[in-house]
């Protein structure tokens, strides 16, 4: 029997600036950058379980599935940095 890695959950530390962008709210209280917006930014990449909140600390969590986990991770980071900034 041989086991293979099929998914990995990652935790990316967020800078204060990135966290502030994710914490911004519209006047009605809805998040300026919603989970749906980040999920659509990452489509069609095999990424699920996206999470960030004041309960999880200053981190963004997500799970990558598939055969090219390292390539997908690089693409996720690139897309997130374009949206949230790198510093």
Report CA Rg, the chain: 14
Q: What is the mean pLDDT of residues 12-20?
A: 93
pLDDT at position 74 is: 97
User: What is this structure's pTM?
Assistant: 0.87
pLDDT tens, position by position, 24-69:
999 999 999 999 999 999 999 999 999 987 677 899 999 999 999 9
Please state which architecture CATH assigns to domain 7-84: 2-Layer Sandwich (3.30)
Write the CB contacts of 37 (distance below 8 Å, at least 6 apart in sequence).
none
Partners of 8 in beta bridges: 64
b/e per residue, 12-27, with b = 16+ CB within 10 A?
eebeeebbeebeeeee
């Amino acid at each position: 029997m041989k086991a293979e890695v099929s998914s990995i959950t990652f935790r990316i530390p967020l800078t204060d600036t990135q966290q502030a962008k994710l914490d911004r709210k519209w006047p009605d209280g809805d998040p300026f950058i919603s989970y749906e917006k980040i999920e659509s930014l990452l489509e069609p990449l095999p990424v699920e379980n996206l999470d960030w909140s004041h309960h999880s600390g200053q981190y963004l969590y997500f799970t990558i599935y598939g055969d090219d986990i390292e390539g997908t991770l690089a693409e996720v980071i690139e897309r997130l940095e374009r949206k949230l900034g790198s510093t």
